[in-house]
Amino acid sequence: MNAKISPTGKVSPVGQPLDRVDGHLKVTGQARYAGEYPQTGLLHGSVVSSTIACGRIVSIDTTQALQVPGVVAVIDHTNRPHVASYDKDYEDADSAKGSPFRPLYNDKVLYSGQPLALVVADTLELARYAGSLVNIEYEVDAHQTDLTAAQDEAHTAPAETPKPRGDFQTGFSKAAFTVDARYSTPNEHHNPMEPHASTVLYQDDGSLEIHDKTQGTQNCQDYLHNVFGLEKEKIRILAAFVGGAFGSGLRPQYQLPLAVMAALQLKRSVRVTLTRQQMFTFGYRPNTLQRLRLGADAEGRLTAVGHDVIGQTSRFEDFTEHVVEWSGMLYQCDKVQLTYKLAPLDVYTPLDMRAPGATSGMVGLECALDELACAAGIDPVQLRLTNFAERNGNEDKPYSSKELRACYQQGAERFGWDKRNPEPRSMRNGHQLVGWGMAGGVWEAMQMKASAKASIDSDGKITVTSATTDIGTGTYTVMTQIAAEALGVMPQDIHFVLGDSSLPTAPLQGGSFTVSSVGTAVQQACRGLRTKLLDAVRMAHAEFAVVDMEEVGFGDGYLHIRGQRFAYADIVRESSHDVLDVRIDAEPDKKREGYATATHSAVFVEVLVDEDLGTIRVNRVVSAVAAGRVVNPKTARSQILGGVVWGISQALQEETLTDHHLGRFMNHSLAEYHIPVNADIGDIDVVFVEENDEIVNELGSKGVGEIGIVGVASAIANAIYHATGKRVRELPITLDKVL
């Protein structure tokens, strides 16, 4: 419908730096999270975790725990209720290939930290104390948790890796310049501010209303339906506010089935909250071992790209992510060979974590490209421009849009890259060595099927709904802006509702596809509501029964035709309905099929390295991003800032350390799992490069949640080399490695 949106000439809400519509609730403490919903008679569950990495349970003695006043039950594999799906395999929307983990399934211990019992008591403190009294006797088997030691046992990952193209070996052997280097990235854990929790409110009719820490309410609903054999209508999942997730909430974590198991057995409301230490007992970013082989001719044009990766997985599932694909698409090369293998270990299955695969794989690619630039004596930015790819070589498709050249140019100008002396150890500030490094970034611009509903009542109240979540990314706000633009009203006139499995279908919130997927559905639903408003005017006013669409405008809450205007509320009141509403099921446009779609970035970094102490400080960062139409520059900038901070963390601090003798994570707390604080962060400058894309979706938006972190760690590693002349290929880059 080609109607004019704003006949009054007001600026569209989309593209404006609107404050978060949910901000007031959050800063005043009125926003409730999964573990904060009160209920009379609510019971509390505490999980008892395994202390071995592999073996079986010989016995569980719960006698002492049950004698504690206020303890209601201790549930383990010997006395748990029947669970429908435990007799067969089941999946969730983000499951990996294999047999999913079943909490309290049998006597086998598959990894250290595995939940073996749930103590349920009147208070959380009592439950935790009683949990310490549960005595478990094990039969211990040999375990392996070291990827380096197990790499020879790796098998080809089930994910489809792009087929080789051209003769890689010839291209590499005949190159004027070559790089053959090995890199590694460590385990990382998500550690969102809000720990995982599930509050299961048991209803008199046996139905369950559940507040869960999740990135997909309907995924959790489907999961419980499949696992427990409950009717979907008897399960309602709510997640109005989520205190960060970064991928940790894509799959239902074990506290959810445990809480449901207890609620169904006891016919009581139960809450299970994981401790910070237990946040290290499920998915994480997997350790990777990478080999990069690059060849280039005398002018720096790539003649060969080889990227081989071994990642870790569990023994019961094959977790795969896109680690090597980026090396086949970011730069122009006709001779490419990519391999990706998995080594099964006695660990829990890894899980998607902000920019999964790209965050790890781009470390190898972008650091190796910097090494190639040094070997060939070519500026790192110029080398990337020389190898700029107009098409995605993996798919052999042109890009719907790609303003990466502008990212290089605008980022370099803002940073002052032309003042860089390319010689390592040539720039200093007193006793500090100054290093300048850069890297490129890429992430898929995906779109999934999604639904939304828009309605307006006789008071003019507009409500837009979808089952999507807001994990802190600003979904409430940007959907409000999209709806306001589509209906021609102000953002404050829109009430957007999310985080409820009973609402119109939405995909998991992840992958930077929420705006493109749910946003498109919201836009189409609101445009459909405009059509209904027009139809109501046509029915009520015979003189407008036949109207040229060019004559119709929507703006300021009014429908405008031939010099007359009709308030939306009046239109509804004059119609025969109390409410006008439209529900839309949106899916990707077929015109996308002929194109590759991606966001791109260029990251420029300055580091200061103390020559005597080896300490490293990231002094300033410029991140230039091309992500199509930016719905809200303020929240989008915050997403990039968060990604850059995490990239600094990945480069310099973040690592989950394993004691391979015990087979368990050692630094499973925020005291010992190192992440940056405010004092670690210097100046971060975000540049959004203008990029118009009419193919990716109707909004022209690509999403920014992931792209902010990609390439940051590589740029820092490259800057450290420039500062010190020492190439560190193992993340994180700590001072001992520099010294």
Q: What residues are labeled active site?
A: 706
Per DSSP, the residues of 70-93 read: TEEEEEETTTPPP-GGGGS----T
Rounded Cα gap, residues 21 and 13, in angstroms: 13
Longest dimension (CA), the chain: 85
Rounded Cα gap, residues 258 and 264, in angstroms: 10
Among 673, 738, 698, residue whose Cα is nearest residue 186: 673
| 235-238/208-212 β-pairing | parallel
Q: What is the dihedral sign for C-alpha 275, 35, 200, 71? A: positive
Question: Is 324:310 a contact under the CB 8 Å cutoff?
Answer: no
Q: What is the dihedral sign for C-alpha 152, 155, 161, 162? A: positive
Q: What is the token pair recorded at 73? A: 């039950």
Rounded Cα gap, residues 238 and 467, in angstroms: 9
3-class SS string, 608-635 = EEECCCCCEEEEEEEEEEECECCCCHHH
Rounded Cα gap, residues 494 and 7, in angstroms: 19
Question: Is 734:652 a contact under the CB 8 Å cutoff?
Answer: yes
Q: What is the CA radius of gyration of the chain?
A: 27
DSSP state of 160: -
The CA-atom distances, in angstroms, between 500 and each of 209, 240, 470, 497 are 10, 7, 11, 8
Q: What is the token pair recorded at 269? A: 């409301």
Q: What is the token pair recorded at 44? A: 């509390």
Q: What is the token pair recorded at 100? A: 């999913």
Rounded Cα gap, residues 524 and 453, in angstroms: 9
Helix (H, G, I), strand (E, B) or coil at 121: strand
Amino acid at 703: G
- Work out the angle between the directed axes of helices 514-540 and 475-487 (0-180°, nearest 10): 30
Question: Is 182:307 a contact under the CB 8 Å cutoff?
Answer: no
Question: How many Cα atoms are found within 13 Å in the side-chain-facing hemisphere of 157?
Answer: 25
CA 553 to chain CA centroid, nearest Å: 38
Rounded Cα gap, residues 691 and 404, in angstroms: 10
Mark out the alpha helices in 377-459 (DSSP H runs). 380-386, 404-415
DSSP state of 349: P
The CA-atom distances, in angstroms, between 174 and each of 294, 369, 371, 383, 393 are 11, 18, 18, 19, 21
Rounded Cα gap, residues 356 and 706, in angstroms: 9
